[in-house]
Structure 1
Amino acid sequence: MPTLVDLIKGESQRSDKDKIFGPDFQTPADWSKYLEDQFGDGSEPVSALLRSAVDRDGFQALYVACWIYQPLEKGSFMIELDSPGQVRQGYDTLPDRWSSHLGERGKSAGAGFLFLKGYSELLVQIESLGSASSALFLKCEGHAAISVKHMLSFFTKKITGAGNTASKSLQAQGKDPESVVEPRAAENYSKAYEKLLKAVGLKPKDTMNTVPNVASAMWKYLAARESHTLTAYSTGGGPRDASAVANLRGVKLAECLDKLRGAATNDLGPKDKLRVAVLGAKNDLDTIQANLKTDPAGTQRVFAEVKVTPRQLDERLRDFRAALARG
């Protein structure tokens, strides 16, 4: 499998690097210089930056670090924060930006951002998903919030579950199974997943429906219909009730979600709305379960966003810079 360094060097199939990356990201030397300028040469480059007063360039650098961790055609990253302290100070200096994501209170760090061609805006938010910890939400946008093109993309997302494409070259990479670039990983729900939310009485307009909340609602629905699979799971060591499900995280939640899917498929009638929705959202639920198994401990997931810790970014950045240096 080709690596990101291969893509940057133009050695991967259908590289198109000149159509994907901005002018300051065309060669390994360009990338090395940018990372040196933004992060220095310490052993904890991202962690150290997050402990400082992050400015606009710093938020942009954090997005680049996230993209190095997981290259995406489009999507959103959430960096877990032990404390939002210094990050909050820098965040508060950024200009406000309209947002339809999560808490819907955004800031813009996009001025002068020339990392990915077609994407000139960087949406920044600090979010808390019902836990003591906070997360830094970062998402590249193709256009400023108040623009015709962004509004058109927003309406497309409302209809299809995904916004318009801002980079055809990057989209081609995302569609290529041999590419290091993933096609999409975002926190906003797909249309199939929205149907699942509706089936259990949740509102898709609520952008903060976490996976534990959805699983808890599925449990209530199935328990009310006396699911035999659910009863066997509970008496065999599984959660006792919906409240217990809402407190599950990570691997335990993935296991529970798998049982809930089985119960909906096997115990409900063929036309039952939850059964139909679960089968329709198969790909989404598969992705969510896979992500839950690798999510940072104790964190909550909304949908298919990339969740990462500062330490994971530190390690990835060190490895990536070493690979760049090897040429």
Structure 2
Amino acid sequence: RLDGFCSMEAGKEEGSLLTRAEDLETPEITINARTRDGGQILAEIVDATGKPLDGFSRKDCLPFQGDEVRHVLRWRTGAFTPPQQPVEKRLRFFLTDANLYSYLAADPGAAKTVIYDPAANGGLLPNDDRILPSQRFAMRGHPSGYQLAREGSITYLDLHSAASAKTNACFAKEADWNDATDWCLEGWYRVADKGTQPNYGLATFMSPPAGRNAALYLSDREAGILSTDGSNHQVLKSTPLDTTDRFHWYRLVHTGGAAGSLFLEVDGKEVIRLPYSELLTRYHPAANILFGPNASNQEGRMHVAKFGYRIGSAEPLFGPVREQNQ
């Protein structure tokens, strides 16, 4: 049996197992397990105190019965809420007449999702050590260019690239994928001032380590798609938009693999679509996902109320901006 050299076993009397803290991005656990007649395996997701998360108790779990080396154990609740994302999570398994040989914290083929939401995480910066490593970003640029602010019900990051500091103000993360992978990048953004024009905008880059790359390009008066080969930054297509009037919901989406397309949505409406083959190619070995005004040695300022990306799926992350002061 694959990975079957040892197991946790329970007979007719139920047994339980509490795991170490796991880096759970989605509520799915891949198990290698076997049950006997009348047996089953259940699990719940608990916090650091051992309390089950709402929607992920044993009664919410879809029980496993059978003999499989790669079964995805799920709950009736399909996703974590934003407040649950940064919580430390452990698994508590319940076995009756069953053997549990191994488990993985997610289906290896599942999409990778990262979300930064300061309203949901208690007003933490993206690089705060209290955020799970899988959701944490690295700080780039001059520290004075970052501050949290609140407007009505919206908490947001005020990111300022100051030309005098000869740097930029953004947050970065490393990820790995290729041109065949579907992905989406989303944010609730508002451009705070005109900045230096022209530059390559208040951009949110998403470039695989070796492949075609794309950025959401924002100036004070337009939104578009930008691509770069490292030295040559090209706005491939843009559309007029007042990006300063309020927070807008932007989605940059790639579907269809290397022969597919890239499109930009603003507030749920598609405004630009391009063949993916029109994007430029760049080798970028690290920190290939960034958000903020990536205008080094230029002037730029933007507000970020939410940012996120999903690799392996183009399903939406957020939805329209809600409850904001116009």
Task: State the TM-score, normalized to the length of structure 2.
Answer: 0.28
Higher helix share: 1
Bigger strand fraction: 2
Q: Which has the larger radius of gyration?
A: 2
- TM-score if structure 1 supplies the norm length? 0.28
